[in-house]
Chains A and B, each alone.
Chain A
Amino acid sequence: MTAPPVLSVGNLAKAYGGVHALDGVSFDVHAGELLALIGPNGAGKSTCFNVVNGQIRPDAGTVRLEGRDITGLPPRAIARLGVGRTFQIAAVFGSLTVLANVETALLASRGASFGLWRPQDGQARGEALDLLAQTGLAALADRPATGLAYGDVKRLELAIAIAGSPRLLLMDEPTAGMGTHERLALIGLVRRLAAARSLAVLFTEHSMDVVFGHATRVIVLARGRVIADGSVEEIRADPQVRAVYLGRSAATGERGS
């Protein structure tokens, strides 16, 4: 690959008191790639996400987006530079309609949030409906975001996250709390969207069916360190990974499939 990686993190470190949440983490993510970040609870996955998207300032290390150093910028600036994200606990704007959720995100990405006079309705309607169609929410456009089924909330958050046409999409446990069928449908959707937009996707995941079925590459984190980085097959075969992560029961990998 000749193009610079979309995301490149180098030697990230972050400690909470004595706990090294991140302890020298480095990896790259390229366009078109679905990179799964896996590891046991407390491995540092969410911390890593929060550092990349600017919610947490790392103690050391750099975050580069398409070669540009974005370490320490606030989340809103990083978002404008082309990073979208979803949260471990899905968050949408509850008092807005589904359509307005996406419109608001679209206008924010254009820096138009300070429009004070012209009604928002209509300013980004076409594109917002387009995004809703792509995420399968077109029929719900006029519904309040509060009261959506959890799967729909997840898809709406995905639509919000890609509204700014990001180059990099971060998804923290995108399928947590979903049934098998819904889970695979959502990750399939992410895969199609990523291919169509040649997005780089970095996601954390606990369900091995999703990871081994859909990721193009896997990174294993344990106690804040990268202990393996490779293709699905390599990770499956890695004895250290099996010991640290899959070790408890090899059956975890087959769960649900």
Chain B
Amino acid sequence: MALDALAFQMINGLASASGLFFVAAGLSIIFGVTRIVNMAHGAFYMLGLYLAVTLADRLPGPLGYWGGLLLAALAVGLLGAAVEVLLLRRIYHVPELYQLVATFALALILNDAALWLWGPEDLLGPRAPGLKGSVELIGRRLPEYDVFLAFAGPAVLLALHLLMKRTRFGRTVRAATQDREMVAALGINEALLFTAVFALGAFLAGLGGALQTAREPANLNLDLAVLGDAFVVVVIGGMGSIPGAYLAAVLVALVKALCIALGTVEIAGLAFNMSKLTLVAEFLVMALVLVLRPQGLFGRPQAAAARAAASEAPLRPMGGTGRALALAALAVALAVPALATVWAYAPVLALDMLIAVTFAASLHLLMGPGGMASFGHAAYFGLGAYGTALAATGLGLPTLPAFAVGILAAGAGALLFGWFCVRLEGVYLAMLTLAFAQIVWSVVFQWEEVTGGSNGLIGIWPDWPFDSRAGLYLAALAVTVAGLYLIRRLIFAPFGHALRAGRDARMRAEASGIDVARIRWLAFTASGMLAGAAGGLYAFAKGSISPETLAVGRSIDALVMVLLGGLASPAGPVLGAGAFTLLQDTVMRETDYWRALLGALILALVLLFPGGIAGGLSRLFAGGRADG
């Protein structure tokens, strides 16, 4: 490795670190005061970039360009204030999970707003006036703009430091971050503080985006990419710490720079292209930090999770009605192949539903009884799909062994990632699952020789007797029923009770001799394997898969299915997955703006029907009984 190459990559890395720092700092400040992890923060960054590109094109001269950047960031800050007043104020009191999905819904809506305003094409902004040239450094040419950005990060860090230390606003923010009750006691206008903090956080994200105008084109994938990176940075630096965010951003950027500078190296006779390992490297840094200092480099130890009191009713064995309903559903499901003669689409739709039910049920095991909200469950779905597909096409295994390989691949992934995840709680856990899923996605995306990269894998067909539509459907039905039965056994067994005990009162469970981390680890792995089974079915059902199979959108679909069905009921995922698939295959297929539609659906769920379908039904029942 040449030293000059490293130096070059480091300056480049510091430039990227600045952008990442702005987003992470905003995320951190907002979390510190409001305790909300804003999943829409990447969208703010993306909007900042789009707005800046647009303004730079319209406003004349250098003043127009730089003024436009600032205007774009300010506009995003204003948008943040509006979001706080209109949305967040309604969700401060709801459980963490609902806050996460609500802000994610906002991200979906903002993404479609950008699609509507700017179209699907990438937009490249003009170069920055005054900084178009490059400087020489150890025989290499560095863009002046990168050098400028590398200094912009520390400058904003300093400005934030002064803001926090020297102003009344800053002192209030710090007080609120340390002790929220104190704010009320001091007679500070809490509503105004929260709005201001959210606006500041959004402004920072918008600024981070706007400053990228001269470096990268605006595109619609940026929001999630940046969010994943910002999560990694915040986890490493410590939630709520601004210097931590900067240090972590630099650390991540430098590790990446090192990987790129190393290029292709030989390890034990094998050539590794290190530059493709950048995301894995990021993950390794995060994993190391989480093992050594779970609260992050500069974070405070997490207070024992103050759980929103579990209002869930105890699980009862299925009564006569429940059993009759389950049998009726099974009978209908068995009759579907016969329907094909009158309604050709029925088996296709029903197969989609079965896959969705298995997937949603696996996530429900994790989120419901396990109390662990995963924002990256698609990773295990995808590992199952790719494992199955590679075993079937690459290794040429028959259908059943290939399916087993898929499940094992997903299980191995869940075993590995779960070990880290189960040690965290709440939003930290959610962020980590999302970060892991992003990593799996990018590995699949980049590892072209094996996974086919963005083209994916094709020609994944099952052999006899699964090669007919009815055959595959009935096999999927068997897998789904077996999966649901397995989950039921698990949650009624001592394991399921210990799992719920650890969720309801972790310290209490530990003090009774329950190894909560291991119980949760096993649940995580079982859940991952079931998701993998769903993924394997998906691969055979579609015949081809692509990185889209394990993109974050699929994780969110699963979350919506679970919430739509009702988190507190074991029947929830079945109802939710059924309803969601129907909605997806009919309404959403008809519009380009399905993300916004999905976002609106999620917001409606969180704000109006937090109990989901199962909750609504049982309320209906209880009401009827009370009347009668």
- Residues of A near any B CB (own CB < 8 A): 53, 55, 74-76, 79-80, 84-85, 87, 91-97, 100-101, 103-105, 107-109, 111-121, 123, 144, 146, 157, 160-161, 163-164
Interface positions of B from 177 to 192, Cβ below 8 Å from A? none
Q: Is B410 located at the chain interface by the 8 A CB criterion?
A: no
Q: Are B504 and A53 in contact (CB under 8 A)?
A: no
Cα A80 to Cα B509 in complex, Å, equals 12
* Interchain CB contact under 8 A, A120 and B505: no
SS class of chain A's interface: helix, strand, loop or mixed? loop
B505 touching A92, Cβ below 8 Å: yes
Q: Looking at the complex, which one of B311, B315, B513, B522 makes contact with A76 (CB distance below 8 Å)? A: B513
A113 to B515, CA, bound (A): 9
9 contacts between A and B (CB under 8 A): A55-B511, A76-B511, A87-B511, A91-B505, A93-B504, A108-B512, A115-B493, A115-B495, A121-B492
**Contacts A96-B497, A104-B497, A115-B493 known; A164 to B513 CB distance under 8 Å?**
yes
Min C-beta distance of B622 to chain A, whole Å: 15
Q: Is B510 an interface residue (CB 8 A)?
A: yes
Distance in angstroms from B196 CB to nearest chain A CB is 32
Collect the chain B residues with CB atoms within 8 Å of residue A91's CB.
505, 507-508
Residues of chain B within 8 A of A100, CB atoms compared? 314, 497
Contacts A76-B513, A117-B489; A95 near B310 (Cβ below 8 A): yes
CB < 8 Å: which of B313, B492, B498 contacts A113?
B498
Q: Find out whether the CB atom of A95 lies under 8 angstroms from the CB atom of B492.
A: no
Residues A76 and B514 in contact, CB atoms below 8 Å apart:
yes
Contact across chains for B513 and A108 when beta carbons are under 8 A apart: yes
Task: Please give me the residue from chain B that is nearest to A104 by CB atom.
Answer: B497
**Judging by beta carbons under 8 Å apart, are A94 and B505 in contact?**
yes
Q: Are B313 and A95 in contact (CB under 8 A)?
A: yes
Contacts of B497 in A (CB 8 A): 93, 96, 100, 103-104, 107, 113, 120
Q: How far is the CB of A141 from chain B (nearest CB, A)?
A: 11
In Å, the complex CA distance between A254 and B155 comes to 64
Q: Establish whether residues A104 and B310, one from each chain, have CB atoms under 8 Å apart when the complex forms.
A: no
Establish whether residues B493 and A144, one from each chain, have CB atoms under 8 Å apart when the complex forms.
Answer: no
Check A113–B504 contact: CB distance below 8 A.
Answer: no
Known: A94-B505, A96-B314. A115 touches B494 (CB 8 A): yes
Instruction: Tell me the complex Cα distance, A112–B522, Å.
Output: 14
Docked pose: A58 CA to B559 CA in angstroms: 42
Tell whether B23 is near chain A: CB-to-CB under 8 Å.
no
Contacts of A93 in B (CB 8 A): 497, 500-501, 504-505, 508-509
Cβ of A108: which chain B residues have Cβ within 8 Å of it?
A: 498, 501, 509, 512-514
Interface string of B494-532 (1 = CB under 8 A from A): 111110110111011111111110010010000000000
A114 touches B494 (CB 8 A): yes
Q: Judging by beta carbons under 8 Å apart, are A104 and B508 in contact? A: no
Picked from B501, B505, B507, B513, the residue with its CB within 8 Å of the CB of A55 is: B507
Interchain nearest-CB distance for B587 vs A (Å)? 35
Chain A residues within an 8 Å CB radius of B505: 91-94
In this complex, what residue of A is CB-closest to B498? A113
Chain B residues with CB below 8 A from A146, complex form: 309-311
Query: Are A94 and B309 in contact, CB atoms less than 8 angstroms apart?
Result: yes
CB B618 to nearest CB in A, in angstroms, measures 14
A76 to B509, CA, bound (A): 8
Tell me whether A79 and B512 are in contact (CB under 8 A).
yes
Residues on A with C-beta less than 8 A from B519 are: 113-114
| Known contacts A96-B497, A96-B500, A113-B515; A144/B314 CB under 8 A | yes
In the complex, A111 Cα to B494 Cα: how many Å? 10
Who on chain B is nearest to A50 by CB?
B507
Return A162 CB to nearest CB of chain B, in Å. Answer: 11
What residues on B are CB-neighbors of A84 within 8 Å? Answer: 511-512
Question: How many Å lie between the Cα of A91 and that of B504 in the bound state?
Answer: 9
Which of chain A's residues have a CB closer than 8 A to the CB of B623? none
B317 proximal to A (CB < 8 A): yes
Q: Once the chains bind, are A163 and B309 in contact (CB under 8 Å)?
A: no
Closest to A160 in B: B512
Give the residue among A75, A95, A103 with the most B Cβ atoms within 10 A: A95
Q: In the assembly, what is the distance between CA of A121 and CA of B493, in Å?
A: 8
Q: What separation, in Å, do the CA atoms of A93 and B499 have in the docked complex?
A: 10
Decide: B511 and A79 in contact? CB cutoff 8 A. yes
Most chain B C-beta atoms within 10 Å of own C-beta, residue among A103, A108, A120: A108
Q: Is the CB of A94 within 8 A of B310?
A: yes
With a CB–CB cut-off of 8 A, which chain B residues contact A118?
493
Give per-residue flags for B543-561: 1 if the beta carbon is below 8 A from chain A beta carbons, else 0: 0000000000000000000
Q: Residue B490 at the A interface, CB < 8 A?
A: yes
Q: Considering residues A80, A91, A112, which has the most beta carbons from chain B within 10 angstroms of its beta carbon?
A: A91
- Which residues of chain B come closer than 8 Å to A101, judged between CB atoms? 501
Known: A119-B493, A121-B492. A105 touches B512 (CB 8 A): yes
A116 to B505, CA, bound (A): 21
Q: Does B4 sit within 8 A of A, measured CB to CB? A: no
Q: Which residue of B lies closest to A79 (CB)?
A: B513
List chain A residues, Cβ under 8 A from B314. Answer: 95-97, 100, 144
By beta carbon, the residue of chain A nearest B516 is A76
A85 to B510, CA, bound (A): 10
A-B contact sample (4 more), CB < 8 A, given A107-B497, A113-B519: A101-B501, A103-B497, A113-B515, A146-B310
CA A161 – CA B508 in complex, angstroms? 9
